[in-house]
Amino acid sequence: MATAFHILHDNHEASELNAKGKKFAVVVSEWNSNITETLCEGAVRTLLQHGAAEKDIIIKMVPGSFELTFGAAAFMKQGKVDAVIVLGSVVRGDTPHFDYVCQGVTQGIAQLNTLGDIPVIFGVLTTDNMEQAEERAGGKLGNKGSECAETAIKMINFACSLEK
């Protein structure tokens, strides 16, 4: 599994992770809140560590991972943030519901990134069981919310570099 061999935050230069003066929306799924709240805490902690002001981090909850696309799109239309981070957790069950939700949210976020003017960072865990989700939400594989925050900062910098 790729996650075991690559942790994003080991590959950055401190200078490229400056969130000062940038505004972030964090859209969090209520479903599997024991996981998503930990992902959110990791994202917020990382944004603050890299200079974002508390007032510049807006956190909004949506019922489930499928609704993350709508939440992100709403922030994009508003035009008041530099990046949107979506955080969710979908754990495989006994029905194909897992496949439909994962496919829908993945395609929705990909479409927003293709058509939008600001980055939407995909932080949806799609795991076979709750143990795998816990490992990625502050467990032995780190906190993917934190990695999403770093990615958001990098993508803002990328977008700004194109405007020069």
Quote the Cα angle for 32-71-94, to 5°. Answer: 35
Report the candidate in 77, 46, 68, 64 with the shortest Cα–Cα distance to residue 121: 68
State the catalytic residue, choosing from 6, 12, 50, 97. Answer: 97
DSSP bridge partners of 127: 91
Q: Count CB-CB contacts under 10 A for residue 2.
A: 5
What the block records as the tokens of 138 is 């502050």
Report the candidate in 59, 56, 39 with the shortest Cα–Cα distance to residue 48: 56
What backbone torsions phi and psi does residue 81 show, to the nearest 5 degrees?
-125, 160
Query: How long is the chain?
Result: 164
Identify whether 97 is a catalytic site residue. Answer: yes
Q: Which residues are catalytic?
A: 97
